[in-house]
Amino acid sequence: MGNFLGLVLLSVVAILKSTLMPHLQVRGGAPDLMLMIIISWALLAPYEEAFTWAFMGGIVQDLLSGVPLGASALGLLIVAFVANQLQTQLYRSNLLIVLSLTLAGSVVLHVVMMGVLAASGYAVNWTYNLAYVTLPTVILNLILVVPIFRVMMGLYNRFSPRIETL
């Protein structure tokens, strides 16, 4: 789909995350649309594009939130790297892979974010955040990731250049 259209999509997702998602919280957790889109794109696209999307999405998300700049980008880059490595070794549209990555990626992203906040001098209650923010977020992400992955696969198939053989 390209990095320009990706930046537009990721900006819209970051705006939705900072405006709409706080109102959709369930037990302290909210769906992480940015994470699910980055996981989906990292499983579908070449690694350069996946890492560019992870970095751009993280920076845009950080600019619209109160976390230190680069915290989301760091977490999303780690998740995109793992997803892209699995893409090259396993069948990329296997839904078990998508669900497993969403589970692990949600936890990794939250731990990285809490770590960056703690390193920046913020007081972080690790037990409370893992139990009452991360766990509900993981459950919501697992419910929503399959339809989001299907939409992203459709976008990838529509906008990615194809090499035709004779």
Judge contact between 11 and 60, C-beta under 8 A: yes
pLDDT given for residue 93 in this prediction: 64
Q: What is the pLDDT of residue 15?
A: 92
- Look at residue 88 in the predicted model and tell me its pLDDT: 66
Q: What tokens were used for 72?
A: 């989301």
User: What is the CATH number assigned to the segment(s) 3-159?
Assistant: 1.10.1760.20
pLDDT for the residue numbered 39:
94
How much of the chain is in helix, strand and coil states, percent to nearest 5? 75, 0, 20
- Produce one character per residue of 12-36: b if its CB has 16 or more CB atoms within 10 Å, e if not: ebbeebeeebeeeeeeebbbbbbbb
Query: What is the radius of gyration, based on Cα positions, of the chain?
Result: 16
Output the pLDDT for position 163: 55
Cβ-contact 143, 103 below 8 angstroms: no
- Which pLDDT does position 94 carry in this prediction? 80
For position 60, what pLDDT does the model report?
94
Which residue in 107, 100, 47 sits closest to 77, CA to CA?
47
Residue 150: per-residue pLDDT: 94
If the chain, 166 residues long, is cut into consecutive pieces of 10 residues, what is the mean pLDDT of each piece?
A: 80 89 83 94 89 94 90 94 78 81 95 95 94 95 95 88 56
CB atoms within 10 A of CB 93: 14
What per-residue confidence (pLDDT) applies to 164? Answer: 52
pTM for this entry: 0.89
Q: Are the C-beta atoms of 54 and 77 separated by less than 8 Å?
A: yes
